[in-house]
Structure 1
Amino acid sequence: MNTIYSASDLVNNLLYYLFGVNRDWCQEKISFLQQIKRNNFLLICTSPSTFPIPTTLLVNMDEDIIDLTEKQLNAENISRSVILPNCGAVSMFIGTTRDNFDGKVVLKLEYEAYESMAKKKMKEICKMIRSKWKLGRIAIIHRLGEVPVTEASVVIAISSTHRKEALEAVSETIDALKANVPIWKKEIYQNHESAWKANKECAWSKETIKKDILQKQNEILS
């Protein structure tokens, strides 16, 4: 499981992380930590004992967190990623795969997205909800590919000074996500059948995307 460390955590515990290494290596890592602290970054790594060699994700703490991923979503880590010292509330929405639809047994969901447009729309949603509420940080993470029953397909986490703003913002964010972001899901049933589920709220369709891509390709070739 990933562990999240703030810049101050890393700097304050510097001796722990650098124990048993040579002077040159220490100096290099001290500079690295100072840079993290100056730029107000958050470091996510697999284990403190292997710092800073493992796969890491540096996120500017002044920016919202937007992502599409095929990896399993960790709601706890996403929740912690939006916590700020000046915020007293974090509200979340976690959408999971259920095992039934219209009397059929659902085994899993499969998600596809027009990724570049999806991320653009997710950023627009962040800007829109910030215009309505005073918020701390926003995280919108959507999973792509296969999502088994009980696992999360989307996690939204928002921090704010007081709970009312975060609660209202989370509700509007998931509604805006479904209405504006080109992400589609396919249900896989126990009887080996499957069906793409059209989102009636969404202005995008797979056919619309295909036409848009073809039109852009023709414009480039002409």
Structure 2
Amino acid sequence: MGTIRAEDDIEALSFDIYEPILQQWFNAWQEKAKALGAVVKMAHAIGDVPVHTSSYVSAVFSPKRRVALELIDVFVEDFKANAPIWKYDVKNGKRIYAADRSTAMNGAGLLA
């Protein structure tokens, strides 16, 4: 579970999600989990999420504890690096793109 921390004088974090690509990404993870006899679930907030509240939750269900523990670790790291979710700090009621805490998606960028 991800909880918004009170850092850098933020009031909240705000999130934009591109759902079609997120659904493709998540479907691929469901297939990976299924191949290991597991199930992956997740939910993520859209819009503003105040400090000290949750923006994200994920879980892996598996009859084998080790599979669940290893899969959740890889899933969360891949989520942070590749899920099409854009994060903004909310300060003084304004959204500011959190570029210093963001990761470019593989293959994303400007074309020359």
TM-score normalised to structure 1 length: 0.44
Alpha-carbon shift at residue 111 of structure 1 (Å)? 0.4
Q: Which has the higher contact order (CA 8 A, sep 6+)?
A: 2
- Residues 21-48 of structure 1 deviation map (CA, whole Å, 9 limit, x = unaligned): xxxxxxxxxxxxxxxxxxxxxxxxxxxx
Describe the shift of the 1:108–1:204 C-alpha distance in structure 2 as closer, same or farther (beyond 3 A).
farther
Tell whether 2:102 aligns with 1:195.
Answer: no
2:29 counterpart residue number = 125
Aligned residues: 109
Determine the C-alpha separation between the residues in 1 that align with 2:51 and 2:85: 19
Could you tell me which residue of structure 2 aligns to residue 112 of structure 1?
Answer: 16
In percent, how many aligned pairs have the same letter?
26
Shift of 1:195: 2.2
Structure 2 SS opposite 1:175: helix
Task: Return the offset for 1:147.
Answer: 0.7
**Paired residue secondary structure (1:105):** coil
Show structure 1 runs of 4+ deviating over 4 A: 191-194
Quick one: which amino acid aligns to residue 119 of structure 1?
Q
The Cα shift of 1:98 comes to 0.6
The answer (yes or no) to whether the contact 1:125–1:177 under 8 Å persists in 2 is no
Task: Note the residue ranges of structure 1 that are not aligned, 5 or more in a row.
Answer: 1-93, 212-222
Alpha carbon RMSD of aligned pairs, Å?
2.3
AA aligned to 1:122 is F
Deviations 1:35-78 (CA, angstroms, capped at 9, x unpaired): xxxxxxxxxxxxxxxxxxxxxxxxxxxxxxxxxxxxxxxxxxxx
Report whether the alignment pairs 1:98 with 2:1. Answer: no
Note the residue ranges of structure 2 that are not aligned, 5 or more in a row.
none
